[in-house]
């Protein structure tokens, strides 16, 4: 994408809510942006071979800490959400540090983190006296309307711009990681951990850095989701299903390209919406059914994802053209 | 018995054997010698089916090995003692031997074969319940050869059997090869230990950078300068 | 004081009984990992399907319970083979993490297929097994039965692995995959047999769990994570390690459940797991990179 095209795209995205305000499409766009940010957060570490199936846990923590702090401590989400980020980051350290320190990688890391997301869901369910358990939880409305203090807004335009900003922030972080030393360290580690250590890379520290970054970003996605939807339940923001959903979307979109997770979010959310609109309540379960089959098919036949494969194809064409 | 005609083989796009032709006749002991990285192990792997040739033919008693599923090659009477032994370290000696006699044809004779192997290697009989990985290098080599013999082979492939063993053990090992030959077994042996192996085999091929550079009777090769040339690259 | 002790003993005993079933679960997963080098993330979902099978055969179609159990075990074994042929086999050469994620896709698929086909209502066999009173402790018959059957199942698997040629080959392939052709072993055949065996164990576990728990499309999530932790703690692919870890975890869950809810038992088990990683990392060392 050329620079001018990129600016044009950005301008179109920012300008959109001022010319078009139909509530339903706006709602879908906001949801896509929030999840795109969550998926991008996952890929920040996932693309270096650190496949976590625990991000549902981080997202749930971000959402629940923000909501609980508001309802019980009357703490504004401006403080509650950072608390959630902190909690998510801390949990990431507690789980990931021993994993990295003792070389729990690949399968093992995926399984441990998978258990983590299961456990977060169990905790939310177990503390049902405070969190409402599997029935879900609602942050209290502040003075029946929009408030910057409570981060509650009735207008979709406001939410759209917030979500857009956060999503762009996610891409910016991706870009920063891409340009930074962290990337070289992590690429070396994912190629050959011993070799990287031998050349002076502090393997545990570098992996921990990116994991905490990714976990905190995911917790932010959870807080954002909570504030926008004003309703959270363990099944929609935490647990193994959410973790797998992230992985699925990223694999479909493309794990190694910055916009891959976003493409994945567009495809998966549109798919779910189409199914919901055309089949109504009969569609319960069908979206995940299709996700599941697609995930298997993608991994077998198109492991680079849709965007990743398209870009690779274009590069190959260009290479061929340049060669002639 | 075994005939290789202009065999080519390699790993991915990296070729390791070029145009290798070689013959092993019934009852013979044949050596393949050559420096490190000459393709000796690749040659063994091609014969036993661990690696598929990219060209040429390998025929064992009239059967084309390149068209035989790799797990069926052992049923034709070829047993391969791989480089660095490759025992199942967390299994007992007896379980390792049992794996050697896995083929349906070998199963009915298991007890008999086991007795033969234990007679050949009394050490293994003493250690039958011990985990293979906990034995000394020499004992492990015995176990590996014993495992190969369990399939009642006609042709035994030995890949660097002396590597990493003490001189006394190596001596015993080559004695053993002589005894196995006397028992009617055909042997194809790959070695870096040139002097010793040439005293055991009838004929030998010199392999270097994937090609056969020389061939002849063991005594001739020992006497001539061919081997030194092959190693020094003159 | 005496009352508390009785409760404690009862919890300990229940822990042992639970341990038997968890050990069975981890054995199936460990077998698959040890032999094929793949983790079936959807293992607990196979169990869920087996539980539905029991529910339909026994409660809806009134089949004799033993026949129903036999059919379920065979059916889940067939599912295991299908999983291998359709999903795992095409990915055997791919990155390990792709195999893991593909079975994650199957997890999604099975969960939602169950939701679509069977609905989200909780279902049970409607079987009322007696509660035994032993020395002042209450022990449910269904748990005893599950424990005994799990133990018998594991002994049978043990005998199969040590006494037969195929079983010996299964243990061998876990130690050195590449040289199997030299032994005359067709690895693909061993993979199929192992998948059937792993599936069969999931089927057996399903028959035992459905005696104690309701079945619903997400029931797998209650057993899956804990099974993975057990396998990782016992070192993936290590049958003995998995067996020991299963009982340790079961006791933690049972004791945690005694003082708090069962969910807290799981939380304690996870916390214990994290602590163990600091204390005894060698029990967790990855065998592969």
CB of A254 within 8 Å of any CB in chain C? Answer: no
* Whether the predicted pLDDT of B231 surpasses 90: no
Residue C17 lies in a domain: yes
In this prediction, residue B232 has a pLDDT band, given cuts at 50, 70 and 90, of low
pLDDT at B190: 93
Distance CA A261, CA A257 (A): 8
Q: What is the dihedral of CA C103, A101, A87, C268, to 10 degrees?
A: 70
Determine whether the interchain pair C168/B75 forms a contact, defined as Cβ–Cβ distance below 8 Å: no
Distance between first and last Cα of chain C? 51
Query: Between chain B and chain A, are at least 3 CB pairs below 8 A?
Result: no
Q: Given CB atoms, is C100 within the 8 Å cutoff of chain A?
A: yes
Chains that touch A (3 or more CB pairs under 8 A): C
**pLDDT band, very low/low/confident/very high, at A283 (cuts 50, 70, 90):** low
**pLDDT value for A195:** 82
Quick one: which of A67, A57, A47 has its CA closest to A241?
Answer: A57
Average pLDDT over residues C240-256: 88
Longest dimension (CA), chain B: 53
Domain map of chain B by residue range?
2-77+154-232, 88-152
Whether residue A126 and residue C267 make contact (CB cut-off 8 A), yes or no, is yes
Tokens matching residue C53? 């099978």
Hey, what are A93's tokens?
């350290």
A195 interface with C at CB cutoff 8 Å? no
pLDDT at C47: 96
| pLDDT above 90: residue B60 | yes
Closest residue on chain B to C172 (Cα): B88
Phi and psi at C63, nearest 5°, equal -75, 155
C-alpha span between B100 and B82 (Å, rounded)? 13
Of B50, B106, B107, the CB nearest to C182: B50
The whole-number pLDDT of residue C255 equals 84
Q: Which of A321, A318, A319, A301 is nearest to A309 (CA)?
A: A301
User: DSSP label at C57?
Assistant: I
> Is residue C84's pLDDT more than 90?
yes
- How far apart CA C244 and CA B1 sit, in angstroms, is 53
* Per-residue pLDDT, A286: 80
CATH of B2-77+154-232, one of 1.10.240.10, 3.40.50.300, 3.40.50.720, 3.30.2130.10: 3.40.50.300
CA distances from A223 to A83, A113, A118, A269, B199 (A): 10, 21, 19, 19, 79
- Please list every residue in chain B whose beta carbon sits closer than 8 Å to the beta carbon of residue C180: 71
Judged by average pLDDT, the poorest of A56-70, A247-261, B179-193, B218-232 is: B218-232
Asked if C266 lies within 8 A of A119 by C-beta distance, the reply is yes
* Interface check C118 vs A, CB under 8 A: no
- Whether residues A99 and C277 touch (CB distance < 8 A) is answered with yes
Q: Which residue has the tokens 């299961």?
A: A118
Q: State the residue for tokens 């098919």.
A: A297
Q: Which of C18-22, C67-71, C225-229 has the lowest mean pLDDT?
A: C225-229
pLDDT level of residue C82 (50, 70, 90 thresholds): very high
Instruction: State the pLDDT at residue B13.
Output: 80
Give the mutation candidate from C158, C161, C183, C188 for the B interface (greatest B CB count, under 10 A). Answer: C183
pLDDT above 90 for B221: no
Instruction: Provide the pLDDT for residue A156.
Output: 85
Mean pLDDT value of segment A217-241: 92
Question: Looking at residue A239, what is its pLDDT?
Answer: 84
Cβ-contact C239, C160 below 8 angstroms: no
Check: CB of residue B188 under 8 Å from CB of residue B201. Answer: no
| Average pLDDT for C198-216 | 94
Provide the pLDDT for residue C74.
Answer: 97
Q: What is the pLDDT of residue B102?
A: 95
**Interacting residues of B166 by C-beta distance below 8 A, sequence separation 6+:** B137, B138
Q: Please, what is the average pLDDT of chain C?
A: 87
Nearest Cα of chain C lies from the Cα of A105 at a distance, in angstroms, of 7
- Calpha distance C68→A177 (Å, rounded): 56
Of C100, C101, C286, the CB nearest to A104: C286
- Tell me the residue length of chain C: 289
Which of 83-112 (A) contact C at CB < 8 A? Answer: 94-95, 98-99, 101-108, 110-112
Lowest mean pLDDT among A38-52, A109-123, B78-92, B116-130: A109-123
The reported pLDDT for the residue numbered C233 is 84
Residue A200 banded pLDDT, cuts 50, 70, 90: confident
pLDDT tens digit string along A73-96? 889 999 999 999 999 999 999 999
Which residues from C are below 8 Å from A112, CB to CB?
A: 228-229, 232, 273
**Can you tell me the mean pLDDT for B96-120?**
94
Helix (H, G, I), strand (E, B) or coil at B155: strand
Structure confidence at residue A5 (pLDDT): 82
pLDDT at A324 over 50: no
More confident residue, C224 or A220: A220
pLDDT at C3 over 60: no
Contact residues on chain A for C98, CB-CB shorter than 8 A: 299, 303
* H-type alpha helices, chain B: 40-48, 93-100, 110-120, 122-126, 137-149, 167-182, 194-198, 218-223, 226-232
C219 contacts in chain A (CB < 8 Å):
none
Closest partner CB to A110 (pick from C100, C116, C229): C100
By residue range, what is the domain housing residue C187? Answer: 2-284
Say whether A292 and C94 touch across the interface (CB within 8 A).
no
Model pLDDT for residues C156-204, shown as the tens digit of each residue: 999 999 999 999 999 999 889 899 999 999 999 999 999 999 999 999 9
From A149-158, B51-60, B145-154, the region with the lowest mean pLDDT: A149-158
CB contact under 8 A, C101 and A295: yes
Instruction: Collect all residues of chain A within an 8 Å Cβ-Cβ radius of residue C288.
Output: 106-107
Residue ranges per domain, chain A? 22-239
- Any chains having at least 3 CB pairs less than 8 A from chain C are A, B
Structure tokens at C146: 């599950």
Q: Is A191 on the interface with C (CB under 8 A)?
A: no
**Residue A235 phi, psi (nearest 5):** -75, -30
C107 touches chain A (CB under 8 A): yes
Strand B29-33 to strand B203-208: parallel, antiparallel, or no bridges (unpaired)? Answer: parallel
In a 13 Å sphere around the CA of A31, the CA atoms on its Cβ side amount to: 17
Q: Under an 8 A CB cutoff, do C288 and A247 touch?
A: no
Q: Check whether C229 has a pLDDT greater than 70.
A: yes
Chain C residues with CB within 8 Å of chain B CB: 165, 168-169, 171-172, 175-176, 178-187
Measured CA to CA in angstroms, residue B55 lies from B17, B211, C88 at distances of 10, 14, 31
* Contact status, residue A192 vs residue A181, Cβ threshold 8 Å: no
C104 Cα to chain B: minimum distance (Å): 31
Task: Please tell me which of the candidates C113, C228, C261 has its beta carbon nearest to residue A114.
Answer: C228
Least confident of A96-105, A157-166, A279-288: A279-288
Cβ-based contacts of B99 with chain C (< 8 Å): 168-169, 172, 183, 185
Closest approach of C251 to chain B, Cα-based (Å)? 30
Per-residue pLDDT band for A219 (boundaries 50, 70, 90) equals very high
Determine whether the interchain pair B48/C181 forms a contact, defined as Cβ–Cβ distance below 8 Å: yes
- The encoded tokens of residue B120 equal 């050949």
Asked if C101 is an interface residue toward chain A (Cβ–Cβ < 8 A), one would say yes
Residues of B with CB under 8 A from a CB of C: 48-50, 69-75, 79-80, 82, 86, 88-91, 95, 98-100, 102-103, 106-107, 151
The fraction of chain A above a pLDDT of 70, given in percent, is: 96
pLDDT of A321 strictly over 80: no
The predicted pLDDT at position C285 comes to: 44
> Which residues is B80 bridged to in the sheet?
B157
Q: CA of B221, closest CA in chain C: separation in Å?
A: 32
Nearest CA in chain B to C165: B102
Looking at residues B123-146, what average pLDDT do you find? 93
Q: Which residues of C touch A101 (CB under 8 A)?
A: 281
pLDDT beyond 90 at B58: yes
Give me B36's structure tokens. Answer: 């490190």
CB-based contact C289 A106, cutoff 8 Å = yes
pLDDT of residue C289: 32
**Does some domain include residue C289?**
no
Q: Least CB-CB distance to B95: which of C168, C176, C180?
A: C168
3-state secondary structure of A289: helix
Please check the confidence at residue B79 and state whether its pLDDT lies above 90. Answer: yes
| Yes or no, beta carbons of B50 and C185 under 8 Å apart | no
Amino acid B229: pLDDT: 67
* pLDDT digit string, tens, across residues C133-153: 877 777 888 889 989 999 999
Distance CA B231, CA B33 (A): 10
State the pLDDT at residue C181: 94
Per the prediction, chain A carries an average pLDDT of: 87
More confident residue, B229 or C30: C30
Is position C216 within any domain? Answer: yes
Structure token pair of residue A156? 């979709």
pLDDT at position B20 is 93
Give the three-state DSSP class for C16. Answer: helix
For position B146, what pLDDT does the model report? 95
Is the pLDDT reported for residue B156 higher than 90? yes
CB A177 within 8 A of CB A44: yes
Tell me which chain C residue has its CA closest to the CA of residue A193.
Answer: C289
Count of pairs with CB atoms under 8 A, one residue in A, one in C: 167
Rounded Cα–Cα distance for residues B62 and B48 (Å) = 15
- Asked if C111 and A241 come within 8 Å (Cβ–Cβ), the reply is yes
User: What percentage of chain B reaches a pLDDT higher than 70?
Assistant: 96
């Amino acid at each position: 994408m050329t620079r001018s095209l990129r600016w044009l795209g950005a301008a179109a995205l920012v300008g959109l809510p001022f010319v078009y305000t139909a509530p339903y499409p706006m709602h879908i766009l906001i949801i896509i942006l929030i999840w795109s940010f969550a998926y991008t957060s996952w890929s920040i570490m996932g693309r270096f071979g650190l496949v976590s199936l625990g991000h549902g846990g981080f997202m749930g923590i971000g959402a629940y800490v923000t909501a609980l702090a508001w309802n019980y401590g009357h703490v504004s989400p401006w403080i509650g959400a950072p608390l959630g980020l902190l909690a998510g980051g801390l949990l990431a350290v507690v789980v990931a540090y021993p994993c990295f320190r003792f070389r729990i990688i690949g399968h093992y890391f995926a399984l441990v983190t998978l258990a983590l997301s299961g456990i977060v869901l169990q905790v939310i369910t177990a503390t049902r006296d405070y969190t409402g358990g599997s029935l879900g939880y609602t942050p209290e409305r502040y003075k029946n309307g929009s408030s910057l203090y409570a981060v509650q807004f009735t207008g979709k335009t406001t939410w759209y711009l917030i979500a857009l900003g956060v999503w762009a922030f996610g891409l910016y972080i991706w870009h920063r990681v891409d340009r930074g030393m962290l990337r070289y360290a992590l690429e070396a580690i994912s190629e050959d951990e011993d070799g990287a250590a031998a050349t002076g890379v502090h393997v545990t520290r570098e992996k921990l850095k990116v994991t905490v970054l990714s976990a905190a970003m995911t917790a932010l996605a959870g807080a954002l989701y909570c504030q926008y939807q004003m309703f959270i339940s363990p099944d929609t923001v935490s647990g193994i299903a959410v973790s797998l959903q992230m992985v699925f979307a990223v694999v479909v979109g493309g794990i190694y390209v910055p916009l891959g997770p976003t493409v994945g979010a567009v495809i998966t959310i549109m798919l779910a919406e189409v199914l919901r609109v055309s089949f109504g309540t009969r569609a319960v379960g069908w979206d995940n059914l299709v996700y599941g089959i697609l995930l298997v098919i993608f991994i077998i036949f198109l492991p680079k994802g849709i965007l990743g494969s398209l870009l690779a194809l274009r590069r190959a064409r260009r290479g061929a053209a340049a060669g002639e | 018995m075994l005939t290789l005609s202009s065999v080519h083989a390699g790993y991915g796009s990296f070729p390791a054997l070029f145009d290798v032709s070689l013959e092993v006749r019934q009852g013979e002991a044949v050596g393949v010698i050559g420096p490190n990285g000459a393709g000796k192990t690749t040659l063994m792997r091609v014969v036993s089916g661990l690696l598929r040739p990219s060209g040429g033919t390998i025929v064992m008693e009239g059967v084309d090995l390149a068209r035989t599923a790799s797990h069926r090659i052992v049923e034709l009477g070829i047993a391969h003692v791989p480089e660095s032994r490759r025992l199942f370290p967390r299994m007992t000696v007896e379980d390792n031997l049992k794996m050697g006699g896995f083929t349906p044809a070998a199963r009915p004779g298991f007890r008999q074969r086991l007795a033969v192997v234990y007679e050949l290697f009394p050490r293994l009989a003493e250690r039958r319940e011990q985990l293979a990985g906990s034995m000394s290098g020499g004992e492990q080599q015995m176990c590996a050869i014993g495992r190969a013999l369990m399939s009642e082979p006609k042709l035994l492939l030995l890949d660097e059997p002396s590597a990493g063993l003490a001189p006394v053990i190596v001596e015993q090992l080559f004695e053993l090869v002589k005894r196995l030959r006397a028992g009617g077994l055909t042997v194809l042996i790959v070695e870096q230990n040139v002097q010793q192996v040439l005293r055991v085999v009838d004929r030998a091929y010199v392999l270097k950078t994937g090609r056969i550079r020389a061939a002849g009777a063991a005594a001739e090769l020992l006497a001539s300068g061919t081997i030194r040339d092959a190693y020094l690259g003159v | 004081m005496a009352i508390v002790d009785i409760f404690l003993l009862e919890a300990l005993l229940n822990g042992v009984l639970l341990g038997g079933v968890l050990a069975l679960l981890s054995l199936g997963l460990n077998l698959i990992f040890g032999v094929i080098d793949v983790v079936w993330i959807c293992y607990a979902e196979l169990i869920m399907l087996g539980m539905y099978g029991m529910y339909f055969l026994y409660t809806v179609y009134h089949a004799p319970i033993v026949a129903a159990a036999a059919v379920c075990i065979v059916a889940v074994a067939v599912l295991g083979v299908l999983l291998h042929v359709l999903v795992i086999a095409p990915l055997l050469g791919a990155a390990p993490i792709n195999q893991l994620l593909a079975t994650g896709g199957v997890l999604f698929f099975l969960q939602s297929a169950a939701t679509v086909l069977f609905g989200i209502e909780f279902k049970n066999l409607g079987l009322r097994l007696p509660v035994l009173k032993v020395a002042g402790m209450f022990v449910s018959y269904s748990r005893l039965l599950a424990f005994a059957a799990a133990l018998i199942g594991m002994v049978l698997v043990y005998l199969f692995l040590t006494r037969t040629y195929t079983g010996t080959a299964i243990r061998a392939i876990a130690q050195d995959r590449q040289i199997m052709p030299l032994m005359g072993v067709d690895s693909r055949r061993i993979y199929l047999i192992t998948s059937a065996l792993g599936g069969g164990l999931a089927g057996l576990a399903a028959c035992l769990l459905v005696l104690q728990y309701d079945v619903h499309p997400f029931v797998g999530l209650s057993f899956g994570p804990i099974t993975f932790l057990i396998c990782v703690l016992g070192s993936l692919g290590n049958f003995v390690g998995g067996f020991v870890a299963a009982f340790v975890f079961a006791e933690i869950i049972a004791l945690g459940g005694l003082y708090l809810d069962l969910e807290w038992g799981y939380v304690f088990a996870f916390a214990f797991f994290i602590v163990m990683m600091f204390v005894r990392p060698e029990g967790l060392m990855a065998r592969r990179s």
